[in-house]
Chain A
Amino acid sequence: MGTSVKVSFLGAPAVGKSTLIKLLSGQVPIPLDYKPTIGLDFGSVQFGEHEIKLWDIGGQQAFQPFWNQYLDGSYLIFVVTDSTPQNVLQTKQLIEWVNRTQKNARIVAIANKQDIAGHFDAKRVENILQIPTYGLTAIDPQQKEKLCYILVKELLNATENGDFKDGTDSRSG
């Protein structure tokens, strides 16, 4: 029997959470127009017999009361920033909140939009956020392999003994 695990993407509006999920799901071409996620959306990616359910959580303030419920049961939470100085500082506060509320999940950051002018590189973002951070440009389809590698590596870090248990995920917040 295969394994099903939940991975969530959280961050401010328009930092590229949905685009990262589209990149992982192999949706090409990746749409460049901004369409906000209303509340919650889903994707999935299959690695052999393992299904990874991807939860795309809308970043707008109005959805914040729902975040905790949406995040519950995640093995891994990607906190996404657009790597601009202002957003990185906002993201630091967000990470503090996630750390307080989601104690069972592994939390890592994605410093997205490494292609835009004035961005902080991943190392600098990591120094500020104080959690493992990966630099990415989600609109570049060639970065899919890198994102898959990050996902698998961090999931192995997140699960006990680096191995999934058989059956459906029963982890709760």
Chain B
Amino acid sequence: MELTADQVKSIAMIGFDVLKGPIVEWEQRLTSDFELDINQFCTPFYLMFQSGNGIKPRAIYFENFSVVAFPEEMNLLLIFLNDGSLQETYDALRKFAQNHYPRVANKKPKEKTAKEKMIDVLKEQQKMTISELGKYFSYNKKTIRSYLLELVLSGKVKRDGKKGRETIWAINTE
């Protein structure tokens, strides 16, 4: 495959300084319409292609250009290309992905109600007074009490003795 000059926007070499990190060693711009400042973005580019010890990309497609990387030990040679026909491929892939995206994944898990959360806390702590429950919820004592009474009526919570002047509440396991 022969590359033509109008396909390549720029070539740059990013090196790695032990103290500073990634630095632009040199850059050659092949077209005047390429406005990306490599100096400003050399660290993100270096991180994109070199970060971690796992799998690493060889090329990344951006909105107006794509970049292909050639790692050479600690250096990174980058070629910036015109997007060419990639936009068409990208659009086709988006359509393909949307058709295959499982709809179920879009459903958010249902948020628990205050009473359900109260049951969870009581299950964890086993026995609690309203003051103790107040540490877990941003409701006043009257509201907590009203929720507890509703839970008692539905048979999920029971009174379980006294602690000083306060009632102890627990999960009803009967």
Q: Which of B18, B21, B53 interacts with A63 by CB under 8 Å?
A: B21
The CA-CA distance from A63 to B17 in the complex, in Å, is: 12
Task: Name which residue of chain B comes closest to A64, CB basis.
Answer: B21
A42 at the interface (CB under 8 A from B): yes
B50 at the interface (CB under 8 A from A): yes
Contact B21 A60 (CB under 8 A): yes
Contact A61 B18 (CB under 8 A): no
Q: Which residues of A contact B23 (CB under 8 A)?
A: 62
A135 at the interface (CB under 8 A from B): no
The CA-CA distance from A41 to B52 in the complex, in Å, is: 5
Contact B18 A40 (CB under 8 A): no
Q: Which residues of B contact A58 (CB under 8 A)?
A: 21
Interface string of B40-84 (1 = CB under 8 A from A): 001100110011110000000000000000000010000000000
B163 at the interface (CB under 8 A from A): no
The CA-CA distance from A61 to B20 in the complex, in Å, is: 5
Which residues in chain B, 72-121, are within 8 Å of chain A measured between CB atoms?
Answer: 74
Contact B19 A60 (CB under 8 A): yes
Task: Name which residue of chain A comes closest to B52, CB basis.
Answer: A41
Contact B52 A60 (CB under 8 A): no
A interface, how many residues as a size bin?
10 to 19
Contact A13 B19 (CB under 8 A): yes
The CA-CA distance from A36 to B53 in the complex, in Å, is: 11
The CA-CA distance from A40 to B54 in the complex, in Å, is: 11
Q: Which residues of B contact A173 (CB under 8 A)?
A: none
The CA-CA distance from A58 to B53 in the complex, in Å, is: 13
Contact B43 A63 (CB under 8 A): yes
Contact B18 A60 (CB under 8 A): yes
Q: Which residues of A contact B50 (CB under 8 A)?
A: 38-39
Residues of A within 8 A of B (CB): 13-14, 34, 36, 38-42, 58, 60-63, 65
Q: Which 7 A-B pairs have the closest CB atoms?
A: A62-B21, A60-B21, A39-B51, A62-B43, A39-B47, A38-B50, A38-B51
